[in-house]
């Protein structure tokens, strides 16, 4: 495949020709060579390749981890003739993902959202953003001063699950900008969701482009998309202009490492992103994190399809086993076609446990207590397992058996006189009064929550899991949102971002 401008397109599974060049990992190799050849290390970090580190820590992490922990600006790694090994590594990642430019991130996809909002939503600029975006989008708008118009996702009330934004809803939101001063600068959406359900990205791109704005897709949960024919296509393949992949979430890199990809459309200037990333980046980014991205890219590009082939086969066996557990429904392909759902990711095993008479929180806790099985997410209605690109088939088989036993042991039947789990209400719609930056950085006071109704929130509060903000800085506090937050807290969720996790008090903008 070849992109419109002659640059390479995405490294799809059938593109053996494009695998050429991918078996190397230039940055990782350069760090490895420097770390192990005994170079004079008269620079940071102070552990000097491990000798200066606490012996127990050195023993636990291994000497080699310290040897490879090197600073920025080392000749032959990221200094010297261009392209340096670091530049080569980012270029190889761009080629593998079908991007014009890829940036390695060492503060997660969070850093990517901060960069994208700073670059595309500067002070006063208007953007459309999915209301249930990850908190890093609104945090980025606090940093940048951009002004969001929120577009609601589709919501499944019965499952308490938010899906993607539909093209129609995006169009309606973008039309609000027409004739109201300067138009929107960009549209930010999420696909896939925490539940692995994908939005109609091609349709969203068409709508955004027709309105003259770039489409940014937070594909944090889909770094593996496009690397196997049975997986969803990546958002870049479907026409997005910039895409985030949280490589550490599903592929093989270290926690906190992620990538930001800019597409070939020319709607987003990589130079502008490079400028804001300099602002957000430590001057001492971790070589271990970046080397892990280089190596994870190699693994995904070269062996991803084969690894995924085996993992998908194991996932299908696990899903089939779990489908026989009484009271458990394994969600997935049957949801495709509902509003906001155009595809699904088999690497997320989503269990609807309502018919067990137990909540997802209870099932997850019982699994943990009995089998030390720890899941990614539990909600009132669901339990969600995250599967990695190269998951252990044995581990998958075991968790299916453990879950089966757990559910059979704790399920409440009709004879127990208890109906299905009472689910919390859906988050009520919120009214935005001032931009997030003004509320977050404005003069605040802490008040008892009862007195906060009608005031403007300075806090971003999300029930975690699943981490969808119910209240954002700049939104009016309503009695309904407080009731919702109390209900999900009582159901077992933590109130992420709340200055008082018990929700007795809250920061609001001072009235004077
Ligand atoms: C949709 C989405 N975007 C961004 C992030 C942030 O990713 P990271 O933890 O890599 O910073 C998350 C984290 O869960 C997420 O779910």
pLDDT of residue 74: 97
Query: For residue range 420-434, what is the model confidence (pLDDT) as tens digits?
Result: 555 555 677 888 999
The Å distance, Cα 308 to ligand 1 centre, comes to 22
Is the pLDDT reported for residue 413 higher than 80? Answer: no
Instruction: Identify which of 112, 136, 245, 247 to mutate to test ligand 1's pocket (most ligand atoms within 8 A of the CB).
Output: 136
* Coil/strand/helix, residue 243: strand
Structure token digits, residue 512: 């004077």
Query: For residue range 207-227, what is the model confidence (pLDDT) as tens digits?
Result: 999 999 999 999 999 999 999
Is the pLDDT reported for residue 9 higher than 60? Answer: no
Banded pLDDT at 511 (limits 50, 70, 90): confident
pLDDT of residue 306: 97
Which residue owns the Cα nearest ligand 1 atom 7? Answer: 109
Q: What share of the chain is helix, strand, coil (3-state, %, to 5)?
A: 40, 20, 45
Tell me the average pLDDT across 56-77: 97
Instruction: Identify which of 105, 115, 130, 134 to mutate to test ligand 1's pocket (most ligand atoms within 8 A of the CB).
Output: 134
The per-residue b/e assignment along 257-283, b for 16 or more CB within 10 angstroms, e otherwise, is bbbbbbbbbebbebeebeebbeebbee
Query: HSE of 307 in the Cβ direction (CA atoms, 13 Å)?
Result: 20
Query: For residue range 232-270, what is the model confidence (pLDDT) as tens digits?
Result: 999 999 999 999 999 999 999 999 999 999 999 999 999
The Å distance, Cα 460 to ligand 1 centre, comes to 16
Q: Give the range among 147-156, 402-411, 487-496 with minimum mean pLDDT.
A: 487-496
The Å distance, Cα 193 to ligand 1 centre, comes to 10
Is the pLDDT reported for residue 278 higher than 70? Answer: yes
Tell me the average pLDDT across 460-476: 84
State how far the Cα of 74 lies from the Cα of 417, in Å rounded to an integer: 69
Q: Within the chain, which residue ranges are assigned CATH 3.90.1150.10?
A: 305-416
Among residues 225, 247, 228, the alpha carbon closest in space to that of 236 is found at 225
Is the pLDDT reported for residue 66 higher than 90? Answer: yes
Tell me the average pLDDT across 447-468: 88
Which 8-state DSSP code applies to residue 48? G
Cβ within 8 Å of residue 51, ≥6 positions away: none
Closest ligand 1 atom, residue 107 Cα: 11
The Å distance, Cα 186 to ligand 1 centre, comes to 20
Fold of 305-416: 3.90.1150
Hey, how many other C-beta atoms are within 10 angstroms of the C-beta on 441?
Answer: 13
pLDDT of residue 180: 66
The Å distance, Cα 329 to ligand 1 centre, comes to 27
Q: Within the chain, which residue ranges are assigned CATH 3.90.100.10?
A: 436-509
- DSSP letters spanning 427-471: PPP--B-S-HHHHHHS-EEEEEHHHHTTSBB---EEEETTTEEEE
Cβ within 8 Å of residue 448, ≥6 positions away: 504, 505
The Å distance, Cα 191 to ligand 1 centre, comes to 11
State how far the Cα of 195 lies from the Cα of 86, in Å rounded to an integer: 34
Hey, how many other C-beta atoms are within 10 angstroms of the C-beta on 470?
Answer: 22
Structure token digits, residue 269: 């200037």
Tell me the average pLDDT across 55-61: 97
From residue 174, alpha-carbon distances to 193, 211, 324 in Å are 22, 7, 45
pLDDT of residue 492: 75
The Å distance, Cα 258 to ligand 1 centre, comes to 9
The Å distance, Cα 110 to ligand 1 centre, comes to 6
pLDDT of residue 1: 33
Closest ligand 1 atom, residue 194 Cα: 16
Say what the pTM is: 0.94
CATH 3.90.100.10 corresponds to the domain 436-509: yes
Which 8-state DSSP code applies to residue 78? T
The Å distance, Cα 222 to ligand 1 centre, comes to 11
For the chain, report the end-to-end CA distance as a whole number of angstroms.
61
Is the pLDDT reported for residue 12 higher than 80? Answer: no
Hey, how many other C-beta atoms are within 10 angstroms of the C-beta on 374?
Answer: 10
Closest ligand 1 atom, residue 256 Cα: 10
Banded pLDDT at 157 (limits 50, 70, 90): confident
Banded pLDDT at 10 (limits 50, 70, 90): low
Closest ligand 1 atom, residue 105 Cα: 10
Give yes or no for a contact between 117 and 144, defined as CB atoms under 8 angstroms apart: yes
pLDDT of residue 427: 72
Pocket around ligand 1 at a 6 A CB cut-off: 108-110, 134, 136, 190, 194, 218, 220, 246, 258
Query: HSE of 238 in the Cβ direction (CA atoms, 13 Å)?
Result: 24
Give yes or no for a contact between 232 and 192, defined as CB atoms under 8 angstroms apart: yes
Tell me the average pLDDT across 73-98: 97
Tell me the average pLDDT across 374-384: 93
Share of the chain above pLDDT 90, in %: 83
Query: For residue range 322-338, what is the model confidence (pLDDT) as tens digits?
Result: 999 999 999 999 999 99
Average pLDDT, rounded, for the chain: 92
The Å distance, Cα 476 to ligand 1 centre, comes to 26
Is the pLDDT reported for residue 457 higher than 50? Answer: yes
Three-state helix/strand/coil letters over 283-344: CCCCHHHHHHHHHHHHHHHHHHHHHHHHHHHHHHHHHHHHCCCCCCEEECHHHECECCCCEE
Which residue owns the Cα nearest ligand 1 atom 15? Answer: 134
pLDDT of residue 370: 98
The Å distance, Cα 29 to ligand 1 centre, comes to 28
From residue 272, alpha-carbon distances to 122, 186, 201, 280, 504 in Å are 11, 14, 24, 13, 43
Instruction: Identify which of 110, 242, 255 to mutate to test ligand 1's pocket (most ligand atoms within 8 A of the CB).
Output: 110
From residue 350, alpha-carbon distances to 225, 356, 376, 383, 421 in Å are 18, 15, 10, 6, 17
Which residue owns the Cα nearest ligand 1 atom 14? Answer: 134
Which residue owns the Cα nearest ligand 1 atom 10? Answer: 108
Instruction: Identify which of 104, 106, 109, 191 to mutate to test ligand 1's pocket (most ligand atoms within 8 A of the CB).
Output: 109
Query: For residue range 172-203, what is the model confidence (pLDDT) as tens digits?
Result: 999 986 666 679 999 999 999 999 999 999 99
């Amino acid at each position: 495949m070849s992109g419109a401008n002659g640059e390479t397109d995405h490294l799809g599974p059938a593109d053996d020709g494009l695998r050429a060049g991918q078996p190397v990992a230039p940055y990782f190799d350069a760090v490895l060579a420097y770390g192990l050849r005994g170079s004079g290390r008269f620079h940071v970090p102070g552990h000097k390749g491990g000798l200066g580190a606490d012996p127990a820590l050195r023993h636990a992490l291994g000497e080699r981890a310290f040897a490879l922990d090197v600073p920025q600006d080392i000749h032959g790694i990221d200094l010297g003739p261009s392209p340096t090994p670091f530049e080569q590594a980012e270029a190889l990642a761009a080629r593998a993902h079908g991007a014009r430019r890829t940036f390695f991130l060492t503060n997660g996809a969070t850093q990517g959202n901060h960069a994208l909002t700073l670059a595309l939503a500067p002070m006063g600029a208007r953007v459309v953003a999915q209301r249930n975006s990850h908190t890093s989008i609104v945090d980025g708008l606090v940093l940048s001063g951009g002004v969001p118009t929120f577009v609601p996702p589709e919501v499944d009330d019965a499952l308490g699950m938010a899906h993607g934004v539909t093209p129609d809803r995006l169009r309606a939101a973008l039309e609000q900008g027409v004739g109201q001063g300067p138009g929107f600068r960009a549209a930010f959406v999420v696909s896939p969701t925490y539940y692995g359900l994908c939005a109609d990205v091609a349709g969203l791109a068409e709508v955004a482009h027709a309105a003259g704005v770039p489409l940014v897709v937070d594909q944090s949960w889909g770094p593996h998309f496009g690397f196997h024919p049975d997986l969803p296509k990546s958002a870049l393949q479907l026409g997005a202009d910039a895409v985030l992949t949280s490589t550490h979430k599903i592929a093989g890199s270290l926690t906190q490492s992620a990538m930001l990809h800019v597409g070939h459309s020319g709607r987003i200037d990589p130079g502008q992103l490079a400028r804001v990333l300099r602002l957000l980046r430590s001057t001492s980014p971790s070589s271990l994190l970046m080397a892990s991205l280089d190596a994870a890219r190699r693994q995904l590009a070269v062996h991803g399809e084969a690894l995924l082939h085996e993992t998908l086969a194991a996932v299908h066996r696990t899903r089939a086993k779990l489908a026989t557990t009484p009271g458990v429904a394994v969600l997935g392909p049957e949801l495709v076609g509902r509003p906001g759902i155009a595809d699904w990711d088999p690497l997320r095993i989503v269990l609807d446990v309502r018919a067990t008479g137990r909540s997802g929180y209870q099932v997850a806790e019982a699994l943990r207590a009995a089998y030390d099985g720890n899941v990614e997410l539990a909600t009132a209605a669901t339990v969600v397992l995250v599967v990695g690109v190269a998951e252990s088939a044995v581990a998958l088989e075991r968790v299916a058996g453990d879950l089966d036993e757990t559910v059979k042991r704790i399920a409440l039947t009709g004879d127990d006189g208890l109906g299905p789990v009472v689910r919390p209400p859906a988050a009520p719609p919120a009214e935005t009064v001032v931009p997030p930056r003004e509320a977050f950085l404005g003069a605040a006071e802490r008040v008892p929550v009862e007195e906060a109704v009608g005031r403007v929130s300075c806090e971003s509060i999300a029930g975690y899991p699943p981490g969808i903000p119910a209240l954002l800085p700049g939104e009016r506090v309503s009695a309904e949102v407080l009731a919702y937050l109390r209900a999900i807290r009582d159901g077992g969720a933590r109130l992420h971002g709340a200055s008082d996790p018990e929700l007795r008090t809250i920061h609001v903008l001072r009235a004077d």
